[in-house]
Structure 1
Amino acid sequence: MQVDTVVSRLERAFEPARELFVPPLSDPRVMGAWAVVVAVSTAVLLWDLRERNEAIPSLMKGVWTLTVLYSGPFGLAVYWYAGRTQIPRDSLARRGFRSTAHCYSGCGAGEVTGILLAQGLLGLAVGWVAATTFGFAYLFGFSLTVGPLLQEGVGLREAVADAFYSETPSITVMEVVAIGTDLLLAADAHVGDLLFWGALAFSLSIGYLAAYPVNVALVRVGVKEGMANPAEL
């Protein structure tokens, strides 16, 4: 009973946000324009990676591609500021952006997979949707850290421990905010509804913004390195 009361209070508190964001995220004209903007942003990114930033490792090329696919011009702006070899100097802010993007690319893929399965295909209850989506997001984000460490020759136990220690805070904050936003806006939407996809795209970017200060703090204290400085490549 207490849980139901808390949920009801949260729904009432965030009702103004639903009234503000649900209409544009359900509007075919708005979402069509957004799709075009994302396509153009992705084309600009791919052109820049091919013509001017070939030295960037393939892993980070994939990270930036997913980031722009998820967040369009916002993702492209992050890449331009922090991910290109032409940045004038590195900084804590840029390292934080790169670290968040690395986490974001894997978690985003996991979140899309999880919410499509749990909400879009199986139609699970809200609690199960949240749990399934978080599990997929954590697994994908976790793997994106463990995999490269294993390729560098780090032992499996050490790689898993390092990923758990460094990625859990960022993934947790990112996914609590992203999944919460998505369910707030589109808990009753189906995979064929425009709102399902609009809310998913919007929630991913909100999750990135929420996780950014966490990654800056982790980089500052030395828990994360913030990915390599592209200007040195």
Structure 2
Amino acid sequence: MDHTQHDERPTGTALTRLAVSATLHCLTGCAIGEVLGMVIGTALGWPDLQTVALAVALAFVFGYAFTIGPVMRSGLALRAAIPVALAADTVSITVMEVVDNAVMLSVPGAMDAGLGSWLFWGALAFALAVAFVVTLPVNRWLISRGRGHAVVHAHHGGGHADGDGEPAGDRGGHAHR
């Protein structure tokens, strides 16, 4: 899809591809924080509520960090990159974390299974997969309205797309939320 104006938004397949990319990027940051939080809380024998709180906090930290770095590399100072990351990621990370943790808590015995258990790791992988499926249409809707990941793309080449639907210049480590 060829964009001729900065405010023209992707539609159809290009929009879906951008939403998939954004959701995978969000999933990566969330998964790192989530896994780290679950591992720390489980290893320390913390109750479910404390473990989930740590996992959610770390998911937000890693999710925002995965956007702030590339946005800063595009030329924004940290002070300007932080609001971009907050605008781009807050809804996506929130939805992903609510779904992921609800699924994890709903699997009987998963939180108490321990780090050496297939139940723990299988439930966590399943929870993250469900979170991806639920968050994808949310990100697609946000991007279609110039919100979420679209905010990040305003700082990466003005949101133009090249022939394959990927925003121009948005390969190789740029934020995809």
Q: Is TM-score (shorter-chain normalized) higher than 0.5?
A: yes
Look up the match of 1:94.
Answer: 17
* Residue 230 to residue 171, structure 1, CA distance change in 2 (3 Å): farther
Look up the match of 2:44.
Answer: 122
Alignment of 1:26-41 (within 5 A): none
Shift of 1:184: 1.9
* Residue 230 to residue 103, structure 1, CA distance change in 2 (3 Å): farther
Shift of 1:230: 7.6
Do residues 184 (structure 1) and 106 (structure 2) align?
yes
CA distance in 2, matches of 1:100, 1:229: 20
Alignment of 1:156-175 (within 5 A): 156-175=78-97
Q: Which runs of 5+ in 2 are unaligned?
A: 1-11, 154-160, 169-177
- State the structure with more CA Rg: 1
Do residues 141 (structure 1) and 63 (structure 2) align?
yes
Residue number among 210, 214, 233 corresponding to 2:134 in the alignment: 210
Shift of 1:206: 0.7
CA distance in 2, matches of 1:128, 1:229: 45
CA distance in 2, matches of 1:95, 1:215: 9
Look up the match of 1:74.
Answer: none
Do residues 193 (structure 1) and 117 (structure 2) align?
yes
Identity %: 38
The letter for the 2-side match of 1:215 is N
Shift of 1:229: 5.7
Do residues 113 (structure 1) and 36 (structure 2) align?
yes
CA RMSD in angstroms, aligned pairs only: 1.9
TM-score, length-scaled by structure 2: 0.75
Which structure has more relative contact order (CA 8 Å, sep 6+)? It is: 2
State the secondary structure of the residue aligned to 2:146: coil
Alignment of 1:14-93 (within 5 A): 90-93=13-16
CA distance in 2, matches of 1:230, 1:134: 37
What do the CA deviations read for 1:183-212 (whole angstroms, capped 9, x no partner)?
A: 221122111111011111111101111111
CA distance in 1, matches of 2:163, 2:129: 23
* Residue 189 to residue 92, structure 1, CA distance change in 2 (3 Å): same
Shift of 1:91: 2.0
CA distance in 1, matches of 2:58, 2:162: 29
Number of aligned pairs?
Answer: 144
Q: Give the ranges of 4+ consecutive aligned residues of structure 1 lying more than 4 Å apart after TM superposition.
A: 226-230
